[in-house]
């Protein structure tokens, strides 16, 4: 199954998306769709199944889009200097131009260029971001309902949005001595547990500007947010920590390994090797969905164990999505991307959706979608 993207034309580079033979059948069986971002191309893609059974691929442009979060009918998406909140405006059983999910941008927070990575949603009444005795920041006390929290990579902290400022910091790793726009440790991943930030990943424990680049091969770590402690070290550019079925899963990107952390021993256990640089992780049933990128030809991605692993297996790096069976560690389905898109960042599962789409800002469609709320 091959999809020629609208990005492709006679006068522009090509983009080709190919799925494994049973990929669409798996999406149908799992009753879900997928979304993924590529900041390299500035696109968010929605992957589903057409009524004919063929792959459905829908894309929208958002400059440097990265973090994705699905929370009920809400989708959060980080971009170059904004955090967007979308809402699915279709009720169950409704269809819009053949799509059963229509995400419409409703709120945009201007954050500035913070290099926002993972995005999640916190429930304020249960918030406990630092040591048990520490107070909840005043801004968070005043919020009602769910609200976004994100990894502010530039300032090496977790942060939330503000109506009057670019962001409000709510936690920083114990090894970061100062809130500064210096990307000291390359904080990137956030795992949520029971509606609260539980664990984060960083490429290093460096406390100097851009210091993480010197520790890419084995300086990566996992930090327990509530205990404010580093619990795992020796990782290689880890990303996308996720709590699922009582395990802390993550991507050891610099080695190309998907696995989990043994919290008792504080060690990473590999489950599967994937031929590429890993970022983006989501789960459905007995399966993990991971994002795969081709390493860049620069210092950031050179000299990693991933290069040696690929060479030993006589494999070339790929870009796309892999579906891994958690019971066996086997890669059972895949989506391969060729052409101008070579790097992905985040992956999200859209449960119960067969064919999703979203409204963007490049066409006038946004002008014609008007929703009226009920009277208070």
**CATH code of 319's domain:** 2.120.10.30
Is 374 inside any structural domain? no
Residue 312: inside a domain: yes
* Residue 309: exposure state from Cβ atoms within 10 A (0-12, 13-18, ≥19): middle
Per-residue pLDDT at 7: 53
> Would residue 375 count as lying in a domain?
no
Mean pLDDT by 10 residues, the chain (376 residues): 50 85 97 97 97 96 97 97 97 94 96 98 61 42 70 97 95 97 98 94 98 95 96 97 98 98 95 97 98 79 87 95 98 97 97 96 84 75
Q: How many domains does the chain have?
A: 1
Strands 74-78 and 68-71: antiparallel
Residue 140 contacts by C-beta under 8 Å, 6 or more apart in sequence?
A: 124, 127, 147, 160, 168, 170
Q: Which helix (H) or strand (E) holds 141?
A: helix 138-141
Residue 10 in any domain: the answer is yes
Rg (CA), the chain: 20
Nearest to 65 by CA among 100, 34, 41: 41
User: CB of 77 within 8 A of CB of 71?
Assistant: no
Given this model, what pLDDT does residue 372 score? 86
| 61 within some domain | yes
Look up residue 285 and give its two tokens. Answer: 């049933």
Asked, for residue 376, whether it belongs to a domain, the answer is: no
Question: By residue range, what is the domain housing residue 92?
Answer: 2-368
Yes or no: say if 76 and 121 are a contact pair by the CB < 8 Å rule: yes
Length of the chain, in residues: 376
Distance CA 61, CA 193 (A): 31
């Amino acid at each position: 199954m091959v999809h020629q993207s609208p990005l492709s034309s006679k006068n522009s580079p090509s983009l080709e998306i190919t799925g494994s033979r049973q990929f669409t059948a798996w999406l149908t069986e799992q009753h879900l769709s997928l979304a993924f971002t590529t900041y390299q191309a500035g696109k968010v893609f929605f992957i589903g199944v057409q009524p004919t059974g063929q792959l459905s691929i829908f894309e929208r442009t958002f400059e440097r889009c990265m973090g994705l979060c699905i929370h009920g009918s809400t989708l959060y998406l980080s971009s170059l200097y904004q955090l967007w909140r979308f809402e699915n405006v279709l009720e169950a059983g409704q269809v819009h131009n053949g799509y059963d999910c229509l995400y419409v941008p409703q709120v945009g927070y201007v954050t500035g260029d913070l290099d926002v990575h993972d995005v999640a949603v916190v429930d304020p009444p249960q918030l406990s971001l630092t040591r048990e005795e520490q107070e909840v920041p005043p801004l968070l006390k005043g919020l009602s309902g769910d609200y976004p929290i994100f990894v502010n990579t530039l300032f090496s902290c977790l942060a939330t949005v503000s109506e009057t400022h670019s962001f409000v910091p709510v936690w920083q790793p114990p090894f970061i001595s100062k809130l500064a726009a210096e990307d000291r440790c390359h904080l990137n991943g956030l795992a949520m547990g029971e509606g609260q930030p539980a664990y984060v990943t960083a490429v290093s424990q460096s406390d100097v500007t851009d210091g993480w680049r010197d520790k890419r091969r084995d300086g990566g770590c996992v930090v327990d947010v509530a205990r404010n402690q580093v619990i795992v070290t020796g990782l290689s550019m880890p990303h996308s920590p996720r709590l699922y079925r009582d395990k802390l899963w993550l991507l050891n990107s610099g080695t190309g390994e998907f696995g989990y952390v043994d919290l008792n021993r504080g060690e990473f256990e590999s489950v599967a090797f994937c031929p590429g640089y890993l970022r983006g992780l989501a789960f459905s049933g007995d399966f993990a969905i991971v994002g795969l990128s081709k390493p860049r030809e620069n210092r950031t991605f050179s000299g990693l164990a991933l290069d040696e692993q690929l060479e030993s297996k006589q494999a070339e790096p790929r870009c796309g999505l892999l579906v891994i069976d958690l019971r066996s560690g086997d890669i059972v389905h895949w989506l391969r991307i060729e052409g101008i898109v070579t790097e992905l960042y985040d992956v999200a599962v859209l449960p119960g959706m067969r064919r999703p789409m979203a409204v963007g800002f490049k066409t006038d469609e946004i002008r014609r979608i008007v929703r009226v709320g009920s009277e208070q």
